[in-house]
Amino acid sequence: MSVEKRGRRLIQAVQRAVQILDCFDPPDKGYSLGELSSLVSLNKSTAHGIINTLVECSYIVQDPSTGKYHLGSKLLEKGLMMLERLDVPYPVHPHLERIADKHQNTAHLYLYVAGELYCADKVEAGSFVIISSRVGSRLPFHATASGKVVLAHLSERELRVALGNIEYTVFTSRTISSRAALEESLPGIRSTGYAIEDEEVEIGAYSIAVPIYNGRGLIGTISVSGPKNKMVAIKEQVIHDLVETASAVSLGLSARPRNH
């Protein structure tokens, strides 16, 4: 069966398979057949057929001891292929380790891909745990330092599209909740070259982010996140180190041979 959406023909069975894969959040959680069929509002027979196909293709695996399903290795393989095509994470990781160790806070690499921002790498240091970020997770543009710094450095056309696609979910009392307020914040970010997230997703958490580039343009950000009181005290040093690190990372990525 197929359906029409925005003038495009979509295959319903494929949509259902994607919906099942989307259930695995957090990615280490396992689900029974009954749980998955309930989550996607399918009868067990239909869900079982789709799941069996995903298992056969290694996108899902079944734990023989519990009978529960988990994400499979094929997704990791495809994810790594995507990262390799983007020419990014592996040479950036040592920079994240260094800056995380120096400030004893969490360093992130976020990549801007197909109009979305994803966590591609994360190095934790210190005792403060950033609950809201994990490798592979998608970042809200309006409520995060990395999201705002990417928006501030997009072209006018890209920015217009991005702003139109944002859902202004309110995470805390400090979250930017409108397009007008978000647009108003961008010139200052563009001028300084960095953005701040001040308890906008997670109470007690404070982040600073700067953009990174390769030979083709903006590809994402690197950031440092930690407890607000500590981050505010070392803010200027963190900004200095992030700018220097971003410059080194961007220079290194621009010099790398491009994959085709």
Residue ranges and CATH numbers for the domains of the chain are 2-72 (1.10.10.10), 86-255 (3.30.450.40)
Phi, psi of 4 (to 5 degrees): -100, 135
Helices then strands, counting H and E runs in the chain, come out as: 10, 9
Whether residue 86 has pLDDT greater than 70 = no
d(CA 173, CA 160): 26
Whether residue 259 has pLDDT greater than 70 = no
Residue with the bigger pLDDT between 39 and 133: it is 39
pLDDT digits (tens, 9 = 90+) for 197-218: 999 999 999 999 999 988 778 8
Instruction: Quote the pLDDT of residue 13.
Output: 86
- Give the number of other CB atoms < 10 A from CB of residue 45: 9
Whether residue 193 has pLDDT greater than 60 = yes
d(CA 35, CA 181): 40
pLDDT digits (tens, 9 = 90+) for 74-84: 776 676 566 65
d(CA 30, CA 234): 40
Whether residue 130 has pLDDT greater than 50 = yes
Whether residue 139 has pLDDT greater than 90 = no
Average pLDDT estimate for 134-150: 88
pLDDT interval class at 28 (50, 70, 90): low
Cα–Cα nearest to 134, from 60, 17, 244, 25: 25
Cα–Cα nearest to 221, from 197, 190, 242: 242
DSSP readout, the chain? -EEEETTEEEEHHHHHHHHHHHT--STT--B-HHHHHHHTT--HHHHHHHHHHHHHTTSEEE-TTT--EEE-HHHHHHHHHHHHHTT-HHHHHHHHHHHHHHHTSEEEEEEEETTEEEEEEEE--SS---TT--TTPBPPSTTSHHHHHHHHTS-HHHHHHHHHH------STTS--SHHHHHHHHHHHHHHS-EEEESSSSTTEEEEEEEEEETTEEEEEEEEEEEHHHHHHTHHHHHHHHHHHHHHHHHHHHHSPPP-
Whether residue 258 has pLDDT greater than 70 = no
Supply 241's token pair. Answer: 């180190």
Instruction: Quote the pLDDT of residue 227.
Output: 93
Q: What's the mean per-residue pLDDT of the chain?
A: 85
pLDDT digits (tens, 9 = 90+) for 167-190: 899 999 999 999 999 999 999 999
Supply 177's token pair. Answer: 């909740």
The secondary structure element, H or E, covering residue 194 is none
- For residue 91, whether the previous peptide bond is cis, meaning omega lies within 30 degrees of 0, is no
Instruction: Quote the pLDDT of residue 257.
Output: 53
Would you say 146 and 117 are in contact if contact means Cβ atoms under 8 Å apart? Answer: yes
Instruction: Quote the pLDDT of residue 31.
Output: 92
Percent of the residues in the chain that have a pLDDT greater than 90, as a whole number: 52
Whether residue 109 has pLDDT greater than 70 = yes
Would you say 236 and 229 are in contact if contact means Cβ atoms under 8 Å apart? Answer: no
Average pLDDT estimate for 157-165: 89
